[in-house]
Amino acid sequence: MSAPPPPHERAVKAVIFDVDGVLVDTGRLHLEAWRALARELSLPPPDERWFRRTFGRRNEEILKTLLPHPPSQGELERLSRRKEALFRRLAKGKIEPLPGALALVRALKRRGFRLGIGTSTPPENLQMILEELGLRGAFDAWVTGADVERGKPDPDVFLKAAARLGVPPARCAVIEDAPAGVEAAKRAGMRAVAVTTTAEPEALQAKGADLVVGSLRALTPERLDALLEVQ
Protein backbone atom coordinates (compact mmCIF):
# COMPACT_ATOMS: atom_id res chain seq x y z
CA MET A 1 0.00 0.00 0.00
CA SER A 2 1.48 3.34 -1.04
CA ALA A 3 1.90 6.17 1.43
CA PRO A 4 -0.74 8.95 1.33
CA PRO A 5 0.28 12.11 -0.46
CA PRO A 6 1.65 14.95 1.66
CA PRO A 7 -0.96 17.46 2.89
CA HIS A 8 -0.16 20.08 0.27
CA GLU A 9 -1.00 17.62 -2.51
CA ARG A 10 -4.41 16.53 -1.19
CA ALA A 11 -6.24 19.63 -2.33
CA VAL A 12 -5.36 23.03 -3.65
CA LYS A 13 -5.02 25.70 -0.98
CA ALA A 14 -4.70 29.43 -1.31
CA VAL A 15 -3.13 32.33 0.53
CA ILE A 16 -4.64 35.77 -0.01
CA PHE A 17 -2.47 38.73 0.88
CA ASP A 18 -3.44 42.21 1.86
CA VAL A 19 -0.92 44.72 0.48
CA ASP A 20 -0.35 47.78 2.65
CA GLY A 21 1.08 46.67 5.97
CA VAL A 22 1.61 43.08 4.78
CA LEU A 23 3.72 43.07 1.62
CA VAL A 24 4.87 46.68 1.96
CA ASP A 25 4.80 49.35 4.64
CA THR A 26 3.37 52.38 2.86
CA GLY A 27 1.56 53.81 5.86
CA ARG A 28 3.82 56.84 6.16
CA LEU A 29 3.38 57.60 2.46
CA HIS A 30 -0.40 57.27 2.67
CA LEU A 31 -0.49 59.63 5.65
CA GLU A 32 1.64 62.13 3.71
CA ALA A 33 -0.81 61.86 0.81
CA TRP A 34 -3.81 62.49 3.09
CA ARG A 35 -2.04 65.49 4.59
CA ALA A 36 -1.24 66.83 1.12
CA LEU A 37 -4.90 66.47 0.15
CA ALA A 38 -5.96 68.24 3.34
CA ARG A 39 -3.66 71.14 2.50
CA GLU A 40 -5.20 71.40 -0.95
CA LEU A 41 -8.63 71.59 0.68
CA SER A 42 -7.47 74.08 3.36
CA LEU A 43 -8.31 71.54 6.07
CA PRO A 44 -6.32 70.78 9.26
CA PRO A 45 -3.78 68.01 8.58
CA PRO A 46 -4.93 64.63 9.91
CA ASP A 47 -2.89 63.12 12.73
CA GLU A 48 -1.54 59.63 13.20
CA ARG A 49 -4.33 58.61 15.56
CA TRP A 50 -6.90 59.40 12.86
CA PHE A 51 -4.80 57.52 10.33
CA ARG A 52 -4.53 54.38 12.46
CA ARG A 53 -8.29 54.44 13.06
CA THR A 54 -9.13 54.62 9.35
CA PHE A 55 -6.27 52.61 7.82
CA GLY A 56 -7.41 49.71 5.64
CA ARG A 57 -10.83 51.14 4.82
CA ARG A 58 -12.06 52.43 1.47
CA ASN A 59 -11.24 56.02 0.63
CA GLU A 60 -14.92 56.95 0.38
CA GLU A 61 -15.40 55.93 4.01
CA ILE A 62 -12.21 57.68 5.13
CA LEU A 63 -13.11 60.92 3.37
CA LYS A 64 -16.38 61.12 5.28
CA THR A 65 -14.31 61.38 8.48
CA LEU A 66 -11.96 63.99 6.99
CA LEU A 67 -14.36 66.41 5.33
CA PRO A 68 -16.32 68.90 7.48
CA HIS A 69 -19.50 68.46 5.44
CA PRO A 70 -21.52 65.55 4.02
CA PRO A 71 -19.87 64.94 0.63
CA SER A 72 -21.63 64.03 -2.59
CA GLN A 73 -20.77 60.79 -4.34
CA GLY A 74 -19.08 62.75 -7.11
CA GLU A 75 -16.95 64.62 -4.60
CA LEU A 76 -15.97 61.37 -2.89
CA GLU A 77 -14.88 59.82 -6.17
CA ARG A 78 -12.94 62.90 -7.29
CA LEU A 79 -11.11 63.35 -3.99
CA SER A 80 -10.37 59.64 -3.74
CA ARG A 81 -8.70 59.70 -7.17
CA ARG A 82 -6.74 62.80 -6.19
CA LYS A 83 -5.50 61.28 -2.95
CA GLU A 84 -4.24 58.18 -4.75
CA ALA A 85 -2.52 60.27 -7.42
CA LEU A 86 -0.73 62.11 -4.61
CA PHE A 87 0.22 58.77 -3.06
CA ARG A 88 1.71 57.43 -6.29
CA ARG A 89 3.71 60.60 -6.79
CA LEU A 90 5.10 60.35 -3.26
CA ALA A 91 5.68 56.57 -3.39
CA LYS A 92 7.30 56.16 -6.81
CA GLY A 93 10.74 54.62 -6.34
CA LYS A 94 10.29 54.28 -2.56
CA ILE A 95 8.44 50.95 -2.39
CA GLU A 96 10.28 48.31 -0.37
CA PRO A 97 9.07 44.88 0.77
CA LEU A 98 8.46 44.18 4.42
CA PRO A 99 10.79 41.63 6.04
CA GLY A 100 10.07 38.11 4.82
CA ALA A 101 7.51 39.15 2.19
CA LEU A 102 9.38 38.19 -0.96
CA ALA A 103 10.73 34.96 0.49
CA LEU A 104 7.27 33.85 1.68
CA VAL A 105 5.56 34.59 -1.64
CA ARG A 106 8.22 32.67 -3.55
CA ALA A 107 8.19 29.74 -1.12
CA LEU A 108 4.41 29.44 -1.30
CA LYS A 109 4.55 29.55 -5.08
CA ARG A 110 7.09 26.71 -5.16
CA ARG A 111 4.94 24.69 -2.75
CA GLY A 112 1.94 24.88 -5.08
CA PHE A 113 -0.33 27.29 -3.22
CA ARG A 114 -2.61 29.48 -5.25
CA LEU A 115 -1.76 33.10 -4.44
CA GLY A 116 -4.15 36.02 -4.42
CA ILE A 117 -4.43 39.61 -3.31
CA GLY A 118 -7.42 41.18 -1.57
CA THR A 119 -6.92 44.88 -0.97
CA SER A 120 -8.73 48.19 -0.81
CA THR A 121 -5.78 49.63 -2.75
CA PRO A 122 -6.76 50.99 -6.19
CA PRO A 123 -5.55 48.94 -9.18
CA GLU A 124 -3.12 51.64 -10.31
CA ASN A 125 -1.40 51.55 -6.90
CA LEU A 126 -1.30 47.77 -6.87
CA GLN A 127 0.29 47.59 -10.31
CA MET A 128 2.99 50.07 -9.27
CA ILE A 129 3.72 48.17 -6.05
CA LEU A 130 3.92 44.75 -7.70
CA GLU A 131 6.15 46.05 -10.46
CA GLU A 132 8.54 47.70 -8.01
CA LEU A 133 8.68 44.50 -5.93
CA GLY A 134 9.18 42.28 -8.99
CA LEU A 135 6.07 40.28 -8.06
CA ARG A 136 3.72 41.10 -10.91
CA GLY A 137 3.69 37.50 -12.17
CA ALA A 138 3.63 35.85 -8.75
CA PHE A 139 -0.11 36.14 -8.07
CA ASP A 140 -2.85 34.12 -9.72
CA ALA A 141 -5.63 36.64 -9.04
CA TRP A 142 -6.24 39.91 -7.32
CA VAL A 143 -9.18 41.98 -6.16
CA THR A 144 -8.88 45.71 -5.47
CA GLY A 145 -11.13 48.42 -4.13
CA ALA A 146 -12.38 49.00 -7.67
CA ASP A 147 -13.82 45.46 -7.79
CA VAL A 148 -16.15 45.59 -4.78
CA GLU A 149 -18.90 47.89 -3.56
CA ARG A 150 -18.33 47.26 0.14
CA GLY A 151 -14.89 47.46 1.70
CA LYS A 152 -13.48 45.64 4.71
CA PRO A 153 -14.75 44.53 7.22
CA ASP A 154 -17.27 43.30 4.64
CA PRO A 155 -15.98 39.93 3.31
CA ASP A 156 -16.64 40.67 -0.37
CA VAL A 157 -13.02 41.38 -1.30
CA PHE A 158 -11.83 38.00 0.00
CA LEU A 159 -14.80 36.01 -1.28
CA LYS A 160 -14.27 37.43 -4.76
CA ALA A 161 -10.54 36.66 -4.56
CA ALA A 162 -11.28 33.04 -3.59
CA ALA A 163 -13.73 32.74 -6.49
CA ARG A 164 -11.14 34.04 -8.93
CA LEU A 165 -8.58 31.61 -7.53
CA GLY A 166 -11.02 28.71 -7.81
CA VAL A 167 -10.46 27.72 -4.18
CA PRO A 168 -13.27 27.38 -1.58
CA PRO A 169 -13.08 29.84 1.33
CA ALA A 170 -12.42 27.09 3.87
CA ARG A 171 -9.14 26.33 2.08
CA CYS A 172 -7.99 29.95 2.01
CA ALA A 173 -5.77 31.73 4.51
CA VAL A 174 -5.73 35.51 4.55
CA ILE A 175 -2.72 37.50 5.72
CA GLU A 176 -3.79 40.86 7.13
CA ASP A 177 -2.49 43.63 9.36
CA ALA A 178 -5.68 45.57 10.14
CA PRO A 179 -8.49 44.56 12.51
CA ALA A 180 -11.04 45.34 9.78
CA GLY A 181 -9.21 42.97 7.43
CA VAL A 182 -9.09 40.19 10.01
CA GLU A 183 -12.82 40.59 10.59
CA ALA A 184 -13.44 40.45 6.84
CA ALA A 185 -11.43 37.23 6.53
CA LYS A 186 -13.32 35.55 9.36
CA ARG A 187 -16.67 36.65 7.96
CA ALA A 188 -15.59 35.09 4.65
CA GLY A 189 -15.08 31.73 6.41
CA MET A 190 -11.30 31.81 5.97
CA ARG A 191 -8.32 31.42 8.28
CA ALA A 192 -6.93 34.78 9.33
CA VAL A 193 -3.22 35.32 9.92
CA ALA A 194 -2.44 38.74 11.38
CA VAL A 195 0.92 40.50 11.27
CA THR A 196 1.46 43.27 13.81
CA THR A 197 2.70 45.91 11.39
CA THR A 198 0.04 48.53 12.10
CA ALA A 199 -2.07 47.19 14.99
CA GLU A 200 -1.55 45.75 18.45
CA PRO A 201 -1.86 41.96 18.86
CA GLU A 202 -4.83 42.36 21.20
CA ALA A 203 -6.82 44.30 18.60
CA LEU A 204 -6.16 41.63 15.99
CA GLN A 205 -6.98 38.77 18.34
CA ALA A 206 -10.22 40.51 19.33
CA LYS A 207 -11.37 40.21 15.71
CA GLY A 208 -10.70 36.47 15.68
CA ALA A 209 -7.22 36.11 14.20
CA ASP A 210 -6.24 32.42 14.11
CA LEU A 211 -2.54 33.26 14.25
CA VAL A 212 -0.70 36.49 15.10
CA VAL A 213 2.92 37.03 14.10
CA GLY A 214 5.31 39.93 14.34
CA SER A 215 6.71 39.47 10.85
CA LEU A 216 6.20 37.41 7.72
CA ARG A 217 9.56 35.83 8.56
CA ALA A 218 7.63 33.78 11.13
CA LEU A 219 5.50 32.15 8.40
CA THR A 220 6.37 29.17 6.21
CA PRO A 221 4.40 27.12 3.70
CA GLU A 222 4.35 24.29 6.23
CA ARG A 223 2.89 26.48 8.95
CA LEU A 224 0.15 27.81 6.67
CA ASP A 225 -0.55 24.33 5.35
CA ALA A 226 -1.03 23.06 8.91
CA LEU A 227 -3.30 26.01 9.75
CA LEU A 228 -5.55 25.17 6.83
CA GLU A 229 -5.73 21.52 7.88
CA VAL A 230 -7.31 22.47 11.20
CA GLN A 231 -11.10 22.23 11.11
Label each residue of 3-33 as H, E or C: CCCCHHHHCCCEEEECCECCCECCHHHHHHH
> Which amino acid appears at position 40 of this protein?
E
In contact, 169 and 162? CB cutoff 8 Å: yes
Catalytic, 20? Answer yes
Exactly one of 20, 25, 156, 225 is catalytic; name it.
Answer: 20
Give the strand order in the sheet containing 191-195.
141-143, 114-118, 14-17, 172-176, 191-195, 211-213
Maximum separation of any 2 CA atoms in the chain, in Å: 75
Which member of 18, 25, 156, 177 is catalytic?
Answer: 18
CA atoms of 183 and 58, how far apart (whole Å): 15
Q: Would residue 225 show up in a list of annotated catalytic residues for this protein?
A: no
Cis peptide before 153 (omega within 30 of 0): yes
- List, in sequence order, every residue forming a beta bridge with 117; answer none if it has no partner: 17, 142
Catalytic residues: 18, 20
